[in-house]
Structure 1
Amino acid sequence: MRVVTAAASSFHGPWRKRAMVLALSGIALAGGAVHAHGQEAAASPAAAMAAPTAVLPGDDFYDYVNGDWLRNTEIPADRSSWGSFAILANATNERIIALVEGLAAAPQADASARQVSDFYRSWMDESAIEAKGWAPIKPLLKKIDGIRDQAGLARALGESLRADVDPLNATNFYTENLFGLWVAQDLNDTTRNVAYLLQGGLGLPDRAFYQSDSARMQGLRAGYQAHIAAMLKQAGYSDAPARAARVFALEQQIATSHASREDSADVAKGNNAWRAADFASKAPGLDWKVFFQAAGLGKQGDFIVWHPTAMTGSAALVGSVPLATWKDFLAFHAINHFSTTLPKAAADQRFAFYGSALSGTPQQSPRSKRALAATNAALSDAVGKLYVDRYFPAESKARVQDMVTNIVAAFSRRIDKLDWMAPATKAQAQEKLKTLYVGVGYPERWENYAGLRVVRGDALGNVQRAEQFHYQQELAKLGQSPDRKAWAMPAQLVNAVNLPLQNALNFPAAILQPPFFDPTASDAANYGGIGATIGHEISHSFDDQGAQFDAQGKLRDWWTPADLAHFQAASKQLVAQFAAYKPFPDLTVNGQLTLSENLADLAGVAAAHDAFTLSQQGKPAQPGVDRDFFTGYGVSWRSKAREAAARQQILTDGHAPAQYRAATVRNLDAWYPAFDVKPGQQLYLAPEQRVRVW
């Protein structure tokens, strides 16, 4: 489901390490924003089909399907939003917490299970964390304080580099570290992996938060500067307000050279090959030789620089901004990053800004959920294996695999029937489908954590060692061939993803549950739910981003000029359709930013409907099955969000708000007779106005 991101995409939201932590803790994700609630269970597709409300489906299909739920449901106090994804994530996380807490009851023969238990219990031991105070992070802060020259600064910046961003699969195109690293298949050479460098250095979600003159943004900037000061003061730094002012001013300067979200999502603009020797002349100001050596990249000769303006701009700031300011910048971001394993006052301060001020969430999640999120980030496959062994039956995997086969076949038929596509282009599209790898449930090979040292009682040290362990794993890929079957999501995540460089899809076990998939529900409900999700991810291989990659994941133009012109014209129609939606009087949906997801939604639900129709051949006719199919689709987007979170999503997320994603059914001919939609109703489109791409 692309929820998770740009040329590589996820169904429901931001992916990669930071987003994974949020998603797995039920804090934030995707389509409609951030969802969750304590004890509410996820309804099956059949059970979720509530009685129609007074609104006509042709006027507001989202309200018609979900109106009663929207009016009768309150967002939990510890959430900024709540809906189908979060309900399921919450229920899944509660299951996993029970599993993990149960590991402590008896000695574990399995080493990875012991690691999971020790990591989780260390994070949960709040009294021990409180007793240690700030001592665990003092060595890192002392090291930062010991920086004496530009070489030392370059070394510290290199050592802070982490592989925590993926420009093809992310809502955020930056990291809090000055730069971000992504290791993946070369865009231009499918035989090797390469190091990608991306913009970073911001503590706010996007450059717009530093540049917008709106009253809300001005207030958030003031709140963020106060947050920087509060964190530094807690850590014992003198004159914290003045230090915070300088750190914030530095981040404002960094933001000026950042690429926009639209440009960040443009693969062609990100495909900038630099040799290691080029950095000194193209981005002067930083001692790149020292930086790369400290980052473990000293032997790398080739890089792809996704954000060249940010690389040049940030390097210049390294050379011009006083060293003392950079030391305060590094100290704050270290404290901010590790605050959840520091004394409670630090964790509470972080939540006060990022949770309450930025997202509008009144209450912090229970510590058990935050501990699980941290454990998932450190030992995702170890936790995922525990979950799969207990909760993911082989029968569910087999049935979903059958649905995948049917929907891929339906998409293939749709390609064959396109009257605007040349035979040569069709052949290339069919080759992508033929070679598509679809992972269902869990990876073929679980990650081994034998090299990760987890020490009971050392919460901060465990997090630091886990981050370094994962970073070294990523660096090791630079000496390996690309793995088409490698997973980008853990099995326990409620999401799905398309990986264009691998020409692969992942459907984690956790999303293969009600309301998306229910073994006891009708075919109509399941094809409308998980079927549309499967279609969505397949479609990402052919959206405005994915269509730039061939069957081997190479960035290559395989379209005829006429075919490309038609595709772009249809895409512009969809941009205009979504740009007409106005969730707030002063804020409209960004049709261009959300185009990839909107294309995938449209093609995905269309292919799923085709596959469902074909699956019913030879079976007795059932009345109202199309209604059940589309209702199942509408229920999957059930969501509501606090205003602060909704506004942040519209500005920064590549996914449109949930109500508009559900409304894409207005482009499908079969939806009209299913609900007797007539001209004059608000969602009605004349046949020639309906967007048709794939």
Structure 2
Amino acid sequence: MKKVLVGGLCASLIVGLSACNNKAAEVKAPEITKTETAAAVSKALGSGIDFANFDKSVRPQDDFYNYVNGTWIKNTEIPSDRTSAGAFYDLREKSRDDVKAIIEEVAATPNLAAGSDEQKVADLYRSFMDIDTLNKLGTAPIQGELDKIAALKSKDELVKYFAHSQLIGAGTPLAFYIDVDAKDSSRYATHIWQYGLSLPEKDYYFNEGERFVNIRKAYIEHIEKMFTLAGLANPKASAEKVLALETAIASRHWDVVETRDSTKTYNLMQVKDLPTLAPDIDWTGFLTTLGVEKQSDIIINQPSFIEGFNEVLKANELTTWQTYMQWQLLTSFAGQLTADLDRENFEFFSKTLNGQAEQQPRWKRGVSTVNSVLGEVVGKVYVKRHFTPEAKERMQVLVENLRGAYGDSIDNLDWMGADTKVAAKDKLAKFDPKIGYPDRWEDYDKLTIKADELVGNGIRASLLGHDKELEKLAGPIRKWEWHMTPQTVNAYYNPTMNEIVFPAAILQAPFFNMEADDAVNYGGIGAVIGHEMGHGFDDQGAKFDGEGNMRDWWTEQDLSAFAAKGSALVTQYNGYAVFDDLNVNGELTLGENIGDLSGVTIAYKAYKKSLSGKEAPVIDGLTGDERFFIGFTQIWRAKIKEESMRNRVATDPHSPAKFRSLGALSNMPQFYTTFDVKEGDAMYLAPEKRVKIW
């Protein structure tokens, strides 16, 4: 089910953080029992190191990433239905297999009660898997919406349809969402974010490099094929109109660096003043369609985009906009229609854009559909089967040890003054860690799922999700809400909640190994914990206080010193070549790079602190420090198709995996000592160029 993704403030560990989901309904979580302490558990455990992955022909001082992962990289073939393989991506496959088992078990249960969660899971999965029915239906499931688009008589009606299109889960140029007010974390606010493009980022519409020219050519051909398959009029002319209009919209978009600036994207306006920003947009009709006509204010994330979009709206004929909205509808629901439309959708967006050789088996995409619509139904079962109380308790110990180490680090900073340290430690103390699963689960009682209505299921889920979002405007902040399901292999920090969140599915080896000694776990999941804590103090997270409010809590001198350190990190990462013609974007990735550097630095301090002054045991011939740094580096093991990697470098705020390891470790004196890194080694940075932030 396609969802409109907007620029929320949450920062995730890896690419793929979805838009914030709606959660509700109190259900008692599995009871957590007391177990042995982490220190006791760690006795007589293994190293947790996979030595078969090492490439001993590489000097660790020159390329620690390939030293630890090189043989795996050489020997691993990316599966034909994927664009990547590695620690994160393989765990995602395992999670999908685990969820598939749950779904199939539910689906095989006879006489499921109508309206029960089990019936909804089974019938949603069936509705996706029943390709014969989808082929017979053709485009009939979206014909009513196509008729609405054809019947539009004015630009005012068009603007209302922009809002309606989002409500049903289709594309729109103006993405509306509800989130915590970044400057008043006691309330929810309405927001509008720039949207409306089908290619990954605005540069794809303007870059004259051969690759981009070929992508635009293929995109026009794809639109033409889709219009032909759907039986829509004038496929070739329509395709050219769509690209031209999207290009005009893209010309008004902010770039990816600008959109991650939480200061620039906070622009609170009175609704009554919106016509001064964009007089040709029927704001009353737009907001009424969304059900928020009574709101007095709204946050416009990119004001100049709204101004520019007003001009694009005015300059293009209604018929052109109707063609564009036909495309938004068709491309949004293509994967839920006929096999031919589904296949053509794959051919462009997955194969041409990202290099994926073969489409995923239908069952995998069916599982993803269930996860996106009914994620916490299967999540409850997933937790019972795959996440033990012992794992949660050990994680809780790790989190608190990391918090303590972070506090010690703040105390010892030589570049931060006393007043700012007090505020930083106050924020640290108020971090809310969430581990494994929600304490309250989402309520799906009002959602109707039918086995023969895949598109209808998606539309009803989208409409219900919007209704749940509207309910937030009348109530208190939902501190208990999660924005990822327990079966998601990821983690995130949410600045307006000041929370760090670790779903159950990431709490597995190589990140978190219950059979391994503490060293590798501090290097793995400890660095993940530290990374999310680090987002609270990265270039954007550091703008928010312990209550989740964006405000200045730094002295001018300390803020200047912090900015200088960030600038040095930008320069370092700008120097990393992903391909001969493409380097990392240090500005785009700054927040994540701060998270990585902070994470491994604080995790190391927490690990040393956990030893209580004792020497770590030697396991498998490795010291504790060696196991720690290897543990950190093996979690970034990854191999990604070139096409996909190029898209990620253009759009993803995370650096490529290799540089997440090399970049952070090159700044750590303890790494130099452990592996005898000296001047002349490839990983060596002169002491004055090493960045130490937290």
| Alignment TM class, shorter chain as reference | over 0.9
Of 392, 402, 411, the match for 1:397: 392
Shift of 1:320: 2.5
Check 1:293–1:194 CA distance in 2 against 1; reply closer, same or farther (3 A cut).
Answer: same
Shift of 1:479: 1.6
Partner of 1:643: 642
1:506 match: secondary structure: strand
Partner of 1:582: 577
Distance 1:567 1:163 in 2: 44
Alignment of 1:195-274 (within 5 A): 195-274=190-269
Distance 2:617 2:585 in 1: 40
Distance 1:293 1:228 in 2: 32
Partner of 1:679: 679
Distance 1:314 1:193 in 2: 26
Partner of 2:17: 15
Task: Compute the RMSD of aligned alpha carbons.
Answer: 1.9
Distance 1:199 1:392 in 2: 39
Alignment of 1:335-414 (within 5 A): 335-414=330-409
Question: Given that residues 210 and 252 in structure 1 are in contact (C-alpha distance below 8 angstroms), is that contact kept between their aligned partners in structure 2?
Answer: yes
Question: Given that residues 495 and 548 in structure 2 are in contact (C-alpha distance below 8 angstroms), is that contact kept between their aligned partners in structure 1?
Answer: yes
Check 1:186–1:44 CA distance in 2 against 1; reply closer, same or farther (3 A cut).
Answer: farther
Question: Given that residues 182 and 197 in structure 1 are in contact (C-alpha distance below 8 angstroms), is that contact kept between their aligned partners in structure 2?
Answer: yes
Partner of 1:145: 150
Partner of 2:90: 87
Distance 1:473 1:441 in 2: 23
Question: Given that residues 578 and 589 in structure 1 are in contact (C-alpha distance below 8 angstroms), is that contact kept between their aligned partners in structure 2?
Answer: yes
Distance 2:8 2:334 in 1: 29
Distance 1:337 1:185 in 2: 27
Of 535, 546, 553, the match for 2:548: 553
Question: Given that residues 48 and 515 in structure 1 are in contact (C-alpha distance below 8 angstroms), is that contact kept between their aligned partners in structure 2?
Answer: no
Partner of 2:162: 157
Check 1:210–1:334 CA distance in 2 against 1; reply closer, same or farther (3 A cut).
Answer: same
**2:133 is aligned with 1:128:** yes
Partner of 1:460: 455
Distance 2:562 2:521 in 1: 30
Check 1:304–1:601 CA distance in 2 against 1; reply closer, same or farther (3 A cut).
Answer: same
Shift of 1:318: 2.1
Of 511, 520, 544, the match for 1:516: 511
The one-letter amino acid paired with 1:127 is D
Question: Given that residues 45 and 529 in structure 1 are in contact (C-alpha distance below 8 angstroms), is that contact kept between their aligned partners in structure 2?
Answer: no
Distance 2:291 2:181 in 1: 19
Question: Given that residues 82 and 639 in structure 1 are in contact (C-alpha distance below 8 angstroms), is that contact kept between their aligned partners in structure 2?
Answer: yes
Alignment of 1:160-179 (within 5 A): 160-162=165-167, 176-179=171-174
Distance 1:692 1:83 in 2: 29
Question: Given that residues 226 and 341 in structure 2 are in contact (C-alpha distance below 8 angstroms), is that contact kept between their aligned partners in structure 1?
Answer: yes
Unaligned runs of 5+ in 2: 1-5, 23-45
1:479 match: secondary structure: coil
Distance 1:572 1:104 in 2: 54
Distance 1:621 1:366 in 2: 46
1:348 match: secondary structure: helix
Shift of 1:458: 1.0
**2:75 is aligned with 1:59:** no
Shift of 1:481: 2.1
2:263 match: secondary structure: helix
The one-letter amino acid paired with 1:677 is V
Q: Deviations over 1:46-74 (max 9, x none)?
A: 33674442111111111111000000001
- Which 10-residue stretch deviates more, 350-359 or 681-690? 681-690
Check 1:203–1:604 CA distance in 2 against 1; reply closer, same or farther (3 A cut).
Answer: same
Shift of 1:8: 2.7
Distance 1:214 1:135 in 2: 40
- Which 10-residue stretch deviates more, 106-115 or 520-529? 106-115
Question: Given that residues 270 and 298 in structure 2 are in contact (C-alpha distance below 8 angstroms), is that contact kept between their aligned partners in structure 1?
Answer: yes
Question: Given that residues 11 and 493 in structure 2 are in contact (C-alpha distance below 8 angstroms), is that contact kept between their aligned partners in structure 1?
Answer: yes
- Which 10-residue stretch deviates more, 81-90 or 381-390? 381-390
- Which 10-residue stretch deviates more, 218-227 or 495-504? 218-227
1:269 match: secondary structure: coil
1:330 match: secondary structure: helix
Partner of 1:113: 118
Provide the TM-score with structure 1 as the length reference.
Answer: 0.92
Q: Deviations over 1:325-371 (max 9, x none)?
A: 11111111111111111000000010000001000111011101101
Question: Given that residues 8 and 19 in structure 2 are in contact (C-alpha distance below 8 angstroms), is that contact kept between their aligned partners in structure 1?
Answer: no
Shift of 1:232: 1.4
Shift of 1:467: 1.2
Question: Given that residues 528 and 608 in structure 1 are in contact (C-alpha distance below 8 angstroms), is that contact kept between their aligned partners in structure 2?
Answer: yes
Shift of 1:673: 2.0
Question: Given that residues 45 and 517 in structure 1 are in contact (C-alpha distance below 8 angstroms), is that contact kept between their aligned partners in structure 2?
Answer: no
Partner of 2:38: none
Shift of 1:113: 2.3
Shift of 1:76: 0.8
Distance 1:75 1:19 in 2: 31
Partner of 1:689: 689
2:185 match: secondary structure: coil
Distance 2:16 2:278 in 1: 29
Shift of 1:7: 4.6
Shift of 1:108: 4.2
Q: Deviations over 1:579-631 (max 9, x none)?
A: 11111121111111100000010011010011111112265532311111110
User: Share of identical aligned residues, percent?
Assistant: 38
Partner of 2:666: 666
Check 1:679–1:12 CA distance in 2 against 1; reply closer, same or farther (3 A cut).
Answer: same
Number of residues paired by the alignment? 659
Distance 1:334 1:636 in 2: 39
Distance 1:293 1:53 in 2: 64
Alignment of 1:460-539 (within 5 A): 460-539=455-534
The one-letter amino acid paired with 2:78 is I
The one-letter amino acid paired with 1:123 is F
Q: Deviations over 1:67-126 (max 9, x none)?
A: 000000011111112111010010111111011011122244692222111111111111
Shift of 1:241: 0.5
2:200 match: secondary structure: coil
The one-letter amino acid paired with 1:445 is R
Q: Deviations over 1:173-232 (max 9, x none)?
A: xx9421112211112222210011100110111101111111100111111111111111
Distance 2:158 2:8 in 1: 32
Question: Given that residues 171 and 329 in structure 2 are in contact (C-alpha distance below 8 angstroms), is that contact kept between their aligned partners in structure 1?
Answer: no
Shift of 1:545: 0.5
Question: Given that residues 21 and 484 in structure 2 are in contact (C-alpha distance below 8 angstroms), is that contact kept between their aligned partners in structure 1?
Answer: no
Shift of 1:163: 11
Unaligned runs of 5+ in 1: 21-42, 165-174
Question: Given that residues 5 and 14 in structure 1 are in contact (C-alpha distance below 8 angstroms), is that contact kept between their aligned partners in structure 2?
Answer: no
Shift of 1:133: 1.7
Distance 1:502 1:88 in 2: 28
